[in-house]
Amino acid sequence: MTELPTEESRLTDDARGSIWTDGEVDLIVADYFDMLTSQLADRPFSKAHHNDALQQLLPRSRKSIEFKHCNISAVLVRLGMPTIPGYKPLPHFQNALVDAIGRYLAIKGQPVFAFATATVPRFAEASLWLEPPPSPTLNEAKETDRLRRLVRKFDPAERDARNRALGKQGEELILAHERQRLIAGERADLARKLEWTSEEQGDGAGYDIHSFELDGRDRLIEVKTTNGPAITPFFLTENERAFSEERPDAFRLLRLYRFIEKPSAFELAPPLHERLTLSPTNYRATF
């Protein structure tokens, strides 16, 4: 059985036993984003070759570089960003790594965040499996003040909310999924009545899609889409929250995640506060 690395070995590592310098961390962060860009563009790349190249530049072992890549994944999860499969997020990273990712995104953030969003036709014929909601314990990783500041600066909820194209494509995918579900359940009559409410009536209804259960009951779906992992935070308007309490029998929140890679989803039914921590984000000021 392989012994798991300790926090100290992750930070120092190698014969020289030194903490990673800012220059070293900047190099490995740039290398990770280079691989991530290739992954999202469907360009082949070799993690082993990238590791070999870094070993030529850094006095670090293969295992040390792999650990640092896993640390980078852990930070990107908190930023609601895609990560590289095989580099499972490992917490207990140095503040220097948080700072290096902040420096990289400050310079190249717009191209990184503007990764082409997957188009609906790519997924329209594929079945969308609804998975269980994430466990609250997944989001309990120890945070430093620097990490909290970085997340505030590159707020994933705000970023997704501004990405209207991503939101629209997510809704379109759920519309196709609901149509398939109803037809598969021999309710083509209900499939013909599906309404893309946010497109046909505009925002403000408290939900995006008017669908149906197989017995004909309303199924009013609010769609929230992200390219990040399942625990990525999102905005819920007061109107949506209130509507979920007015129609708890029909309201369903469908969270689409990892949309740019291979969309996955989970569903939440009211009361939402039993699964979500709802925090106020702004104030209405009046005289």
Same domain as 270, residue 258 = yes
Separation between Cα atoms, residue 283 and residue 254, nearest integer Å: 26
Q: Is the pTM of this model over 0.75?
A: yes
First to last CA, the chain: 67
What is the per-residue pLDDT for 109? 78
For tokens 């360009």, what's the residue?
43
Separation between Cα atoms, residue 196 and residue 198, nearest integer Å: 6
What is the per-residue pLDDT for 5? 44
What is the per-residue pLDDT for 30? 96
* Sequence-separated contacts (24+) of 15-23 with Cβ below 8 Å: 16/59, 19/94, 19/96, 20/60, 20/68, 20/94, 20/96, 20/97, 22/96, 22/99, 22/100
Same domain as 185, residue 270 = yes
Percent of the chain scoring above 90 in pLDDT: 67
Q: Is residue 16 part of a domain?
A: yes
Same domain as 284, residue 148 = yes
Separation between Cα atoms, residue 112 and residue 30, nearest integer Å: 11
Same domain as 135, residue 238 = yes
For tokens 């997944």, what's the residue?
138
- Tell me which of 115, 138, 158 is where a domain ends: 115
- Tell me which of 59, 93, 115 is where a domain ends: 115
Taking only the tens place, the pLDDT of each residue in 126-162 is 568 889 998 765 444 567 889 999 999 999 999 999 8
Same domain as 44, residue 129 = no
Same domain as 93, residue 124 = no
Number of domains in the chain: 2
Give the H/E segment covering residue 225.
strand 218-225
- Tell me which of 115, 146, 162 is where a domain ends: 115
Taking only the tens place, the pLDDT of each residue in 162-193 is 888 899 999 999 999 999 999 999 999 999 99
Taking only the tens place, the pLDDT of each residue in 233-279 is 999 999 999 999 999 999 999 999 999 888 999 999 999 999 998 98
What is the per-residue pLDDT for 129? 81
Separation between Cα atoms, residue 174 and residue 196, nearest integer Å: 10
Q: Is residue 74 part of a domain?
A: yes
* 19 — pLDDT class (breaks 50, 70, 90): confident
- The strand order across the sheet containing 218-225 reads 130-131, 264-268, 251-257, 218-225, 209-212
Q: Is residue 205 part of a domain?
A: yes
Separation between Cα atoms, residue 97 and residue 82, nearest integer Å: 17
What is the per-residue pLDDT for 197? 97
Residues paired with residue 131 on neighbouring β-strands, in sequence order: 266
Same domain as 144, residue 37 = no
What is the per-residue pLDDT for 260? 84
Buried b / exposed e over 167-189, threshold 16 CB at 10 Å, is bbbbbbbbbbbbbbbbeeeebee
Same domain as 147, residue 94 = no
Find the mean pLDDT for residues 221-234: 94
What is the per-residue pLDDT for 262? 84
Same domain as 131, residue 106 = no
Domain enclosing residue 68, as ranges: 7-115
Mean of per-residue pLDDT scores for the chain: 87
What is the per-residue pLDDT for 4? 40
Q: Is residue 75 part of a domain?
A: yes
For tokens 């999202």, what's the residue?
40
Same domain as 263, residue 126 = yes
Q: Is residue 46 part of a domain?
A: yes
Taking only the tens place, the pLDDT of each residue in 101-121 is 999 999 987 777 766 444 444
Same domain as 136, residue 103 = no
Q: Is residue 49 part of a domain?
A: yes
